[in-house]
Amino acid sequence: MTRLTRLTRPTRLTRPTRPTRALALVLGLGFAVLACLAVGALPASAHDVLSATEPADGSTVEVAPDTVQLTFSDEVVALGTEVQVIGPAGEPMSDGPAVVVGQLVSQALVPERPAGSYTVVWRATSADGHPTSGELTFTASTARAPGVVPPPVVKTPTDAPSATAAPSDDPTDEPTAPQAPDDIAPWALAAGAGAIVALTAAAVWWIRRQR
């Protein structure tokens, strides 16, 4: 009596099952969500910005002031910070180097200052080492001669108050511009971690259901 021998086919290497691929996809999406939340929570800009000037940009004053003042949103590094004031005839009006105290940069002007348009070209170094630059203009109605005290400015009751307040000489004053957060918001990290846990739990439940 002959025995029938059953031939067995050689086993084939199996490819990763769909549940395994689904788990990898879910985990990848979770980490992508966490990365997007972390990037969105980063501060928009860490560099200083010019928040106030005295005189104000585009303003008209009775005489050119003794000192031009620039107030920034954060502390400024003295190295690389300079201010150049150019008079109506294109002559330099700066007297000595700029003085940096915290957020305030001051530039003295020469004693004799003619009437006309002035241009202030500035360059400042942020605390993180990033340089920023710009320029502003103002106009002086009356010339200022050495030793001559300018006449006081008398305002009538109908004069409207100035919209731009002069910056304080105290370097400890808070900046007028809102500050961006320095660190990633804790809620963003918590939300991202929660999203990853929820997606992972859903993937595990789906895999068990497919078996």
Instruction: Give per-residue pLDDT as tens, 131-170.
Output: 999 999 999 999 988 765 555 555 555 544 444 445 555 5
- The pTM score is 0.51
- Residue 118 phi/psi, 5° resolution? -115, 145
Asked if 48 and 71 count as a contact pair (C-beta separation under 8 A), the reply is: no
- The model's confidence at residue 50, banded by pLDDT at 50, 70 and 90, is very high
Return the pLDDT at 44. Answer: 42
Q: By C-alpha distance, which of 80, 73, 74 is closest to 98?
A: 80
Average pLDDT over residues 54-81: 95
Residue 65 has pLDDT above 60, yes or no: yes
What sign does the CA torsion over 144, 147, 148, 154 have?
A: positive
Average pLDDT over residues 27-46: 53
Return the pLDDT at 208. Answer: 74
Residue 73 has pLDDT above 70, yes or no: yes
DSSP summary character for residue 144:
B
Which amino acid type is present at position 111?
A: P
Average pLDDT over residues 6-22: 54
| Cα–chain center distance at 76 | 13
Return the pLDDT at 21. Answer: 62
Average pLDDT over residues 4-12: 52
Residue 10 has pLDDT above 60, yes or no: no
Which tokens belong to 185?
A: 């918001």
Return the pLDDT at 175. Answer: 47
pLDDT digits (tens, 9 = 90+) for 165-193: 455 555 455 544 444 444 455 555 666 66
DSSP summary character for residue 123:
E
- The model's confidence at residue 93, banded by pLDDT at 50, 70 and 90, is very high
What percent of the chain stands above pLDDT 70? 52
